[in-house]
Amino acid sequence: MGERRTNFCMNNITGAFLIGGKSKRFGRDKVVYPIGREVLSQKAIDIVKTVAKDIILIGHPRKELSHYKTVEDLVPGSGPLGGIYTALSVAKTEYVFVFAADMPFLNIELIKHMATLAGDHDIIIPSWSNGTEPLHAIYRKTLTSPIKSMIEKKHFKIDRISEVEGISILKVTEDIVRTYGDPKKIFHNVNTLKDLEMVSNLIQ
């Protein structure tokens, strides 16, 4: 499928930050783990808020992030798919860029590029040798009802969204991603304290 370009518009995209994980491997709440003068999640938020009309945090509230709108999962226990559903349900824009709480190296130019490709697509998602990145993807509000149906059927795996009849998915290929940086860094997740030690000098 060819890439269809439209004009990038900040007024048509919401940044939805998923903060509902339990951080089991990290050992404590990594969303608000202190890094220098801020918390880990603030780095990603600062990047996305430069291109999004609104920022919404999806998950349970944290006092350290109380200056942002926080919406608890509409369907508790439904995992990241439930977070995407909640984001699409409450967003006021047609598109929602969904990103994870532990990705400190988001590339703003890549996000802008993905936004310009939206057109009539329902999902714009990076795809590289490690697979697709559903928690670094743009979703259209047209998916709200189909995802709700998936959750009602206890189908919580995000990749099953691709099975929705008539869905239009545009994959941003690895060669395109690499024009903006190393995907291993861009999509890097901080899952353990060891991960944090490896990157903390770069995110302060």
Domain ranges within the chain, ordered by starting residue: 10-203
pLDDT at 1: 38
User: What is the average pLDDT score of the chain?
Assistant: 85
Q: How far is CA 139 from the centre of its chain?
A: 9
- Classify domain 10-203 at the CATH class level: alpha beta
**C-alpha distance from residue 148 to each of 12, 13, 38, 84, 143 (Å):** 22, 21, 35, 10, 8
Give me the percent of the chain exceeding a pLDDT of 70: 82
Given a contact cutoff of 8 angstroms between Cβ atoms, the answer to whether 93 and 30 are in contact is no
C-alpha 40/C-alpha 38 separation (Å) is 7
Banded model confidence at residue 188, pLDDT cuts 50, 70, 90: confident
The predicted-structure confidence for 124-177, as pLDDT tens digits, reads as follows: 999 999 999 999 999 999 999 999 999 999 999 999 999 999 999 999 999 999
Q: What value does the mean pLDDT take over residues 106-124? A: 92
Owner of token pair 């545009």: 170
